[in-house]
């Protein structure tokens, strides 16, 4: 099914009328928990037309996480899919704030008003006087390293960030972007939905993981860009089917620094597509850097306009090629957000907890989370680097490296491995493989073999859960 801008616009005006009659007005806070379906696009634009505040939520969030967001944000309305109804009802059962329920699909909740009723409504013709400082969206982080953070973005901030993104990734009107990234994620919200609308380009969506259905979508939509999570690139590499992505595809985009070098190399070899990296975070951007330089495929790029980045070790700024913490000065850090993050803001700089290095050309390279660094007898070991090397072994499908606390306060390195095709590698052979490129102190002391890793709702590995499975090592050093 293909839709024109005109047909979408008409559906949006009808939906805005539907929402308005349900009590959704200017500044109403609305949680939106929808997958990548047309209704997600309609809802985003209808709420924008009403000047309401949208709070996007990943459809994989369970009731406790959803309840926290609804309560913390003071949302009074929720738009959700029938597949998530059980979690929505559980989340709102003890909350009095959420009064409006709009359900997509066959919802059984008596309180839920059918989304599809919008089709019989007339166009909304109410006033539209958005101010640049009015808040239009409120993002929540995935809470991988602590309590969920949030950031409210004004119309101006979104406009600025979108246009800065488009100055690096230049969408044209004839471009078609396929988004595997959830449209509720800030990267897709800014870098797909907002950016495509500004550029007058098109979006292709398919709410399924079924490869056959995806291939049909690729064949009919003929997308030129793929925007996908790092884990999806790993899936495509394992698939190793050069015909899976259409020949119309010219570029791929992914978020963060978690796409390992060996995966990028394998993906480019199989599909012959450059991979652009985007780095950002809910609380300070949201998109901070973009890399479109194919000569530096490992880099997360250079800062966008209105963003200043420094790599610091304590109060000191480090030199090129030295690892330091990513620290940011951004106009997004408003007074309320600065109060929320006051423990991480020192001398005006927001300390992100991410580690990186920068080269002589000003390109940044993500190293790891500061909290994940393993202290081995006074030496820092970065799990990301070790994991990338482990995954080059033919019998290792995936790897996560964590530290186990010793009695003296240092740590030992423990590697958790998902074997390739169930073929468990030999521990000593793995150590010998690693020792070809690593010094002895970086070699894991222990290996465990698992079928999967515990992951958060946003697909990130919960490393603390792996750490809890490791008994502290008590021995003489």
- 96: domain CATH number is 3.40.50.980
Number of domains in the chain: 3
Residues 123 and 188 in one domain: no
Whether 460 and 60 have beta carbons less than 8 Å apart is answered as no
Do both 269 and 415 map to the same domain? no
The tens digit of pLDDT for each residue in 382-416 reads 998 899 899 889 999 889 999 988 777 778 899 99
Task: Give mean pLDDT, residues 131-144.
Answer: 83
Q: Provide the residue count of the chain.
A: 477
| Residue entry with tokens 């059984």 | 108
CATH code for the domain of 198: 3.40.50.12780
- Whether 421 maps to a domain, the answer reads yes
165 and 252 share a domain? yes
The secondary element (H helix, E strand) that includes residue 427 is: helix 427-435
* Banded model confidence at residue 468, pLDDT cuts 50, 70, 90: low
Domain range for 414 is 373-468
- Do 364 and 423 lie in a common domain? no
Residue 129's SS3 state is coil
Q: How far apart are the first and last CA of the chain?
A: 65
Distance CA 119, CA 18 (A): 9
Q: Coil, strand or helix: which one is 441? A: helix
Distance between CA 34 and CA 299 in Å, rounded? 32
* Placement of tokens 């200017």 in the chain: 26
Q: Is 387 found in the same domain as 309?
A: no
If we measure between CA atoms, which residue out of 45, 48, 111 comes closest to residue 77? 111
Specify if 152 maps to a domain: no
The reported pLDDT for the residue numbered 197 is 96
For residues 22 and 107, membership in a common domain is answered with: yes
197's CB contacts (< 8 A; 6+ apart) are: none
- The segment with the largest mean pLDDT, out of 146-150, 174-178, 215-219, 444-448, is 174-178
Is 134 contained in some domain?
Answer: no
Are both 359 and 224 inside the same structural domain?
yes
Residue 179 lies in a domain: yes
- The whole-number pLDDT of residue 473 equals 42
Rounded Cα distance between 356 and 322, Å, is 8
Q: Which residues contact 9 (CB under 8 A, 6 or more apart)?
A: none
pLDDT digits (tens, 9 = 90+) for 255-283: 866 787 888 889 999 999 999 999 998 88
Instruction: Out of 326, 343, 369, pick the residue that ends a domain.
Output: 369
How deeply is 413 buried, as exposed, middle or buried, from its count of CB atoms within 10 A (0-12, 13-18, 19+)? Answer: buried
Residues 219, 340, single domain; the answer is: yes
Between strands 374-376 and 396-405, the pairing is unpaired
In 240-371, alpha helices (H): 261-271, 335-340
Q: Can the peptide bond before residue 24 be classed as cis, meaning omega within 30 degrees of 0?
A: no
Domain end: 84, 112, 129, which one? 129
Domain finish residue from 349, 369, 389: 369
What 68-72 contacts at long range (C-beta under 8 Å, 24+ apart), as own/partner pairs, is 68/148, 69/31, 69/140, 69/148, 70/31, 70/95, 70/97, 70/98, 71/95, 71/97, 72/140, 72/148, 72/150
Is the pLDDT assigned to residue 477 strictly greater than 80?
Answer: no
Higher pLDDT, 224 or 404: 224
Question: What value does the CA radius of gyration of the chain take, rounded to a whole number of Å?
Answer: 23
Position 173 in a domain: yes
Q: How many helices (DSSP H) and strands (DSSP E) are in the chain? A: 14, 25
Which is more confident, 96 or 190?
A: 190
Given this model, what pLDDT does residue 423 score? 82
Q: Does residue 349 sit in the same domain as residue 381?
A: no
> Among candidates 5, 21, 24, 3, which has minimal Cα distance to 122?
21
In a domain, 145, yes or no: no
Q: What percent of the chain has pLDDT over 70?
A: 94
Sheet holding 202-204, edge to edge: 202-204, 176-179, 225-227, 251-255, 275-280, 287-291, 302-303
Mean pLDDT of the chain: 89
Tokens for 8, please give them: 């979408």
Same domain, 52 and 200: no
Does any domain span residue 475? no
The two structure tokens encoding residue 262: 């060996």
Is 371:353 a contact under the CB 8 Å cutoff? yes
The answer to the question of residue 122 being in a domain is yes
Judgement on whether residues 36 and 173 belong to the same structural domain of the protein? no
What is the structure's pLDDT at 476? 34
Same domain, 326 and 208: yes
Contact 226, 249 (CB under 8 A): yes
């Amino acid at each position: 099914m293909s839709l024109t801008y005109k047909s979408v616009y008409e559906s949006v005006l009808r939906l805005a009328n539907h929402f308005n009659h349900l009590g959704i007005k200017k500044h109403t806070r609305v949680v939106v928990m929808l997958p990548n379906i047309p209704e997600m696009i309609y809802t985003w634009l209808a709420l924008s037309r009403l000047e309401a505040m949208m709070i996007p939520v990943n459809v994989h969030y369970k009731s406790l996480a959803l309840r926290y967001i609804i309560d913390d944000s003071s949302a009074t309305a929720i738009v959700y899919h029938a597949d998530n109804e059980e979690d929505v009802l559980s989340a709102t059962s003890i909350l009095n704030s959420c009064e409006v329920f709009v359900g997509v699909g066959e919802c059984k909740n008596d309180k839920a008003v059918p989304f599809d009723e919008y089709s019989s409504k007339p166009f909304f013709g109410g006033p539209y006087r958005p101010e640049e400082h009015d808040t239009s969206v409120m993002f929540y982080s995935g809470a991988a390293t602590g309590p969920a953070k949030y950031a409210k973005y004004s119309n101006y901030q979104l406009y600025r960030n979108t246009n800065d993104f488009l100055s690096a990734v230049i969408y044209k009107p004839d471009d078609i972007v396929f988004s595997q990234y959830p449209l509720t994620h800030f990267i897709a919200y800014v870098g797909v939905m907002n950016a495509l609308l500004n550029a007058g380009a098109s979006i292709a969506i398919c709410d399924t993981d079924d490869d056959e259905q995806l291939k049909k979508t690729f064949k009919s939509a003929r997308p030129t860009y793929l925007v996908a999570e790092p884990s999806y690139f790993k899936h495509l590499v394992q698939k190793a089917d050069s015909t899976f992505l259409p020949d119309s595809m010219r570029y791929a985009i992914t978020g963060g620094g978690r796409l390992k070098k060996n995966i990028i190399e394998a993906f480019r070899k199989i599909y012959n597509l450059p991979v652009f990296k985007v780095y950002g975070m809910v609380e300070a951007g949201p998109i901070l850097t973009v890399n479109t330089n194919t000569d530096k495929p490992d880099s997360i790029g250079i800062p966008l306009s209105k963003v200043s980045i420094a790599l610091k070790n304590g109060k000191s700024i480090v030199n090129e090629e030295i690892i330091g913490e990513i620290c940011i000065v951004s106009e997004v850090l408003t007074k309320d957000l600065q109060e929320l993050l006051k423990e991480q803001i020192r001398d005006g700089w927001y300390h992100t907890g991410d580690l990186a290095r920068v080269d002589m050309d000003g390109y940044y390279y993500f190293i790891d989370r500061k909290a994940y660094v393993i202290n081995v007898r006074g030496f820092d070991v970065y799990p990301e680097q070790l994991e990338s090397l482990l995954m080059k072994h033919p019998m290792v499908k995936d790897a996560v490296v964590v530290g186990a606390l010793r009695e003296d306060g240092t740590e030992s390195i423990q590697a958790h491995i998902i074997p390739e095709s169930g073929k468990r590698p030999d521990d000593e052979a793995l150590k010998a493989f690693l020792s070809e490129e690593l010094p002895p102190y970086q070699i894991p002391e222990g290996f465990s073999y698992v079928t999967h890793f515990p992951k958060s709702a946003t697909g990130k590995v919960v490393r603390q859960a792996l750490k809890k499975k490791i008994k502290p090592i008590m021995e003489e050093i």
